[in-house]
Amino acid sequence: MIKVDALTKVYRVPQKEPGFWGSVKSLYAREYKDVRAVDGVTFQVEAGERVGFLGPNGAGKTTTLKMLTGLLHPTSGTCTVGGWKPQERNPDFLRAITLVMGQKQQLMWDLPCSESFLLNRALYDLDKKPFEETLAELTELLDLKPFLDTPVRNLSLGQRMRAELAAALLHRPKVLFLDEPTIGMDVEVQAVLRKFVLDYNARTGATILLTSHDMADVGAIAKRILLIDQGVVRFDGSLEELAKRFGAGRRMVVRGPATVLTPMGFTSGDEGKMVATVAAERVNGLLSEVLQALPNCEVSIADPPLEDVLRTAFGDLRPKAPAEAAP
């Protein structure tokens, strides 16, 4: 469904010397520096896959999504989505995709949601009956009815994002590009949107490419992970492979006194709990030591959080700077 081969995006960024004379000089002899936002990225996503496209800020995630949706043209390399070249902006291609960005909006600020939906119907040239059936389905699944006739400017962030998602899916796209779709939402609304995305994928077989800094989004939605850093794909595999390769053993959480647990290697965690991450082969020994000192304590053992796994992955996968030669 999505094929990317050596995709590259280079921006020419103007440079200016500091101070007043630097500003004057830049008017007559401006200098530029090439910045590679995406550097030879190659990957494929099959129809129906749910893929997490992850990386630190400035890694090239959003730039890649914008090239895949035709908003940006690549400097070199190729990409196709459903057989179309995104930069050609073919009307059939635009009907087959959608892009949901948590920090951008497509709804008209002063209009009720219902009128924005009608505008989308006109833009996508949707027949009345299928449009009404889809809108009724989305209204029920996303619980839109209480605020359908409320101007968008008067909606809460959670309500607006549910309406944004509905607007993005009225034409029943085959490919969903989701860029930070739950940013700023409360926990309850996040859970609703994650469940809806999973249900939509199951019902329609839509392909999903997700970028998010919220690891709960990634853990709930994605089955495959693409890690991008400094414009280059560093890892491509399942969540399980990622955890196995970069997970630092097992995470033991104990509710007990710090004076007893700190000498065993525990550190303070949330809600008064103590936390230690140890190699898998050390878990039984440490557990025995804890229970011997605190027979009635509350203990849980799990894989390390996805945030920790990713932090380790980026540190291990990023190319190391060459060591300076000794004088």
pLDDT in tens, 68-127: 999 999 999 999 999 999 999 999 999 999 988 876 778 888 889 999 999 989 988 899
Please report the pLDDT score of residue 50 as a whole number.
95
Q: Does position 325 have pLDDT exceeding 50, yes or no?
A: no
Rg (CA), the chain: 24
Task: Give the pairing of strands 224-229 and 232-238.
Answer: antiparallel
The full DSSP string for 153-204 is GGS-HHHHHHHHHHHHHTT--SEEEEESTTTT--HHHHHHHHHHHHHHHHHH
Please report the pLDDT score of residue 318 as a whole number.
65
pLDDT band at 326 (very low <50, low <70, confident <90, very high): very low
What's the average model confidence in pLDDT over 295-312? Answer: 76
pLDDT band at 303 (very low <50, low <70, confident <90, very high): low
**Strand ranges for the chain from DSSP E:** 2-15, 31-45, 50-54, 76-81, 97-101, 175-179, 207-211, 224-229, 232-238, 250-255, 267-268, 274-278, 298-302
Say which residues have a Cβ less than 8 Å from residue 284's Cβ, sequence separation at least 6. none
Q: Does position 282 have pLDDT exceeding 90, yes or no?
A: no
Domain boundaries, given as residue ranges, for the chain: 2-244, 248-302
Please report the pLDDT score of residue 192 as a whole number.
84
What's the average model confidence in pLDDT over 168-180? Answer: 91
pLDDT band at 24 (very low <50, low <70, confident <90, very high): confident
HSE-CB for 262 with a 13 A CA cutoff: 5
Query: Mean pLDDT for the chain?
Result: 85
Bridge partners for 15 per DSSP: 31
Class of domain 2-244: alpha beta
Q: Cα separation of 113 and 163, whole Å?
A: 7
What's the average model confidence in pLDDT over 120-147? Answer: 90
Between 225 and 317, name the one with better pLDDT.
Answer: 225
Please report the pLDDT score of residue 85 as a whole number.
95
Evaluate whether 41 touches 60 at the Cβ level (below 8 Å).
yes
What's the average model confidence in pLDDT over 174-187? Answer: 85
Evaluate whether 175 touches 1 at the Cβ level (below 8 Å).
yes
Evaluate whether 62 touches 211 at the Cβ level (below 8 Å).
yes
Lowest-pLDDT range, 15-19, 62-66, 218-222? 15-19
> Which CA distances in Å does 5 have to 84, 98, 227, 326?
14, 22, 16, 40
Sheet holding 224-229, edge to edge: 97-101, 175-179, 207-211, 50-54, 224-229, 232-238
Distance of CA 254 to the CA centre of its chain: 31
pTM of the model: 0.76
Q: Cα separation of 310 and 260, whole Å?
A: 31
Q: Cα separation of 135 and 114, whole Å?
A: 9
Q: Cα separation of 115 and 109, whole Å?
A: 11
pLDDT band at 327 (very low <50, low <70, confident <90, very high): very low
Q: Cα separation of 256 and 272, whole Å?
A: 8
Q: Does position 316 have pLDDT exceeding 70, yes or no?
A: no
Please report the pLDDT score of residue 215 as a whole number.
78
Q: Does position 132 have pLDDT exceeding 90, yes or no?
A: yes
Q: Cα separation of 278 and 297, whole Å?
A: 19
3-state secondary structure of 272: helix
Q: What is the pLDDT of residues 215-253, one digit of tens each?
A: 788 888 999 999 888 888 888 998 878 877 776 667 788
Longest dimension (CA), the chain: 77
Q: In percent, how much of the chain has pLDDT > 90?
A: 35
Evaluate whether 1 touches 81 at the Cβ level (below 8 Å).
yes
What's the average model confidence in pLDDT over 166-178? Answer: 92
Between 254 and 251, name the one with better pLDDT.
Answer: 254
pLDDT band at 320 (very low <50, low <70, confident <90, very high): low
Q: Does position 173 have pLDDT exceeding 80, yes or no?
A: yes
Count of positions (residues) in the chain: 327
